[in-house]
């Protein structure tokens, strides 16, 4: 079941807020705002599939639910860091390119 908070933001069955009809999570807009301090107009240039109203709705949702969204961002950061620490020896670009060449040669 999906809960519709307003015509622009929906909460899916996992409790994740999405921009309605855009296949974009609210957290994606928020992270862009945090990383680049983009204005809604600048975000609209980067994401033309989102209307200014959708961008403003996502930011409004964030400001009204800041603790929840910030906790979700922290959870995502911990998950990525956990994956990073589980990786025994990350490949360098050179090693990856070498493996890809070897794979391509066997085809």
Domain total of the chain: 1
State which residues form the domain around 21. Answer: 3-105
Average pLDDT value for the chain: 90
Whole-prediction pTM: 0.73
Burial 64-92 (b: 16+ CB within 10 A, else e): ebeeebeebeeeeeeeeeeeeeeeeeeee
Q: Give the pLDDT confidence score for residue 31 in this predicted structure.
A: 94
Which residues in the chain show pLDDT less than 50? none
């Amino acid at each position: 079941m999906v809960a519709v908070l307003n015509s622009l933001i929906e909460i899916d069955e996992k409790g994740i807020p999405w921009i309605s009809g855009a296949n974009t999570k609210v957290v994606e807009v928020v992270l862009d705002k945090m990383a680049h301090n983009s204005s809604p107009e600048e975000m609209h240039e980067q994401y033309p599939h989102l209307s200014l109203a959708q961008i403003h709705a996502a930011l409004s949702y964030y400001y009204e639910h800041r603790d929840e969204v910030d906790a979700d961002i922290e959870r995502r950061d911990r998950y990525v860091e956990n994956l990073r620490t589980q990786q025994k020896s990350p490949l360098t670009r050179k090693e990856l390119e070498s493996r890809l060449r070897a794979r391509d040669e066997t085809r």
